[in-house]
Amino acid sequence: MIGVFGPFRDYFTLVFVSAVGVIQVATALSGLRGLMFLGDRRMAGLLGAVLAVGVFLWYILSAPRNLPDTAGGLSGNQSAWLFSAASAAAIAFTLAGSSVVNWRLRVSDHQHESGLDALRGTTFLWAVVRTLIAAWKRS
Amino acid sequence: MEALLKADEAVGLWLNGWVGHFPALDAVVKLTVSDYFIPAIISLLMIGLWFTGADAVDRNRRQRGVIRAMMAMGLANLVVLVINQHYFRFRPFVEHDIALLFYRPTDSSFPANPAAMSFALASGIFQGDKRAGVAAFALAALWTLSRVYAGVFYPLDVLGGAGIGLAVSYTVKWWLWSMEPAPTFVLGIFRRLHLA
């Protein structure tokens, strides 16, 4: 491992990339088009699976990982915090990235639905904008 | 109690005695015993559950399961920490000359923290989605059994940890139920923000 931050960086990368991949698989299965990076559900699911499996293979094969926290490994607390930070970053990246990639998805048959269901036909950004406008009009 | 601990040691040493006989199995266990591999998969399963579901009702059930799982994991960790202040059991590799497939942790062998955490997570996931829960229980069992095989825990350490994880998980379920409508309100805020 290279440098003090190696284990932190590697674990963060593992969780970030695999979480992005898992979200792609999940959104493809649920038909949440507004969160998919690719227009085709099958391709989005495949992309997610490749990302998740690929980064695990890289993590396992690139360096010895069974190390105690006294010898370059991560403690339980460190890995828990890193997992939380990396998965939050992966969710934020997916919400922002898919909003940019699918920016044309403004109008949706599902626009009156709430929660994640609204993202079946529009992006996170447009859904939030629509919700804020509706709240402003009500006030 | 003495006889139980002796029997526990005997079973643990018998399992660990297979190390070296099947190099392919040892190679797999070196992976499944890791601090990162199975815990990360179980946690990723929760992220997947959060975004899946046939409809809003189905997704809501899954998301409640994910919330219970996370809370139960934190509480199980705390329970193990408290028990460790009052009881310490040496690890198998300290008391016996065994074939170790992992590094040498310095904390108490009983109760097994990985078992408490992973079974708490699996139980929460099971409450949200049965199929995903069965997969999570299988992964938790594989992880903790690997640790016994690798010489890091005795079987009773794992059983004790799993019992704590399950008990804590159902306690959290009851507590959240008794706190209604607060959990529904919080989930509703996430839903309004299109995050749930």
d(CA B157, CA B167): 15
CA distances from B48 to A18, A38, B45, B167 (A): 11, 18, 5, 25
Question: Any chain B CB within 8 A of the CB of A32?
Answer: yes
**pLDDT given at position B102:** 93
Q: Phi/psi of residue A3, each to 5°? A: 80, 170
Q: Phi/psi of residue A40, each to 5°? A: -85, 130
pLDDT over 60 (residue B110): yes
Question: Any chain B CB within 8 A of the CB of A18?
Answer: yes
- Count CA atoms within 13 Å of residue B158 on its CB side: 21
What residues does each domain of chain A span? 6-103
Range with the lowest mean pLDDT among A32-36, A39-43, A107-111, B190-194? Answer: A107-111
Contact call for B56 and A68, based on CB within 8 A = no
Mutual angle of helices B155-178 and B113-128, in 10-degree steps: 40
**pLDDT given at position A60:** 93
State percent of chain A over pLDDT 90: 69
**pLDDT given at position A1:** 46
Structure-token match 């003090």, residue found: A4
Q: Which of B34, B49, B77 is facing A66, going by the closest CB pair?
A: B34
Question: Any chain B CB within 8 A of the CB of A67?
Answer: yes
Q: What is the sign, positive or negative, of the torsion defined by CA atoms of B152, B156, B159, B162? A: negative
Contact call for A65 and B103, based on CB within 8 A = no
Q: Quote helix, strand, coil % in chain A, to nearest 5.
A: 70, 0, 30
| Chain A residues close to B77, C-beta within 8 Å | 76
Region B149-154: what's the mean pLDDT? 97
Question: Any chain B CB within 8 A of the CB of A78?
Answer: no
What residues does each domain of chain B span? 35-90+107-148+155-192
Give me Rg for the CA atoms of chain A: 18
Average pLDDT, chain B: 96
| Chain B residues close to A96, C-beta within 8 Å | none
Closest CA to B108 of B130, B125, B127, B92: B92
Give B115-147 pLDDT, tens digit per residue: 999 999 999 999 999 999 999 999 999 999 999
Region B26-45: what's the mean pLDDT? 95
CA distances from A132 to A93, A123, A136, B173 (A): 21, 14, 6, 33
**pLDDT given at position A95:** 98
**pLDDT given at position B1:** 86
Question: Any chain B CB within 8 A of the CB of A28?
Answer: no
N residues, chain A: 139
Contact call for B193 and A128, based on CB within 8 A = yes
Contact call for A30 and B104, based on CB within 8 A = no
Q: Which of B30, B39, B44 is facing A22, going by the closest CB pair?
A: B44
Cis peptide before B114 (omega within 30 of 0): no
Give A15-71 pLDDT, tens digit per residue: 999 999 999 999 999 999 999 999 999 999 999 999 999 999 999 999 888 888 888
| Chain B residues close to A114, C-beta within 8 Å | 56, 191-192, 194
The secondary structure of A13-44 as a DSSP string is: HHHHHHHHHHHHHHHHHHT-GGG-SSSSHHHH
Region A110-136: what's the mean pLDDT? 88
CA distances from B97 to A19, B3, B78, B93 (A): 40, 21, 31, 6
Confidence of residue A3 (pLDDT cuts 50, 70, 90): low
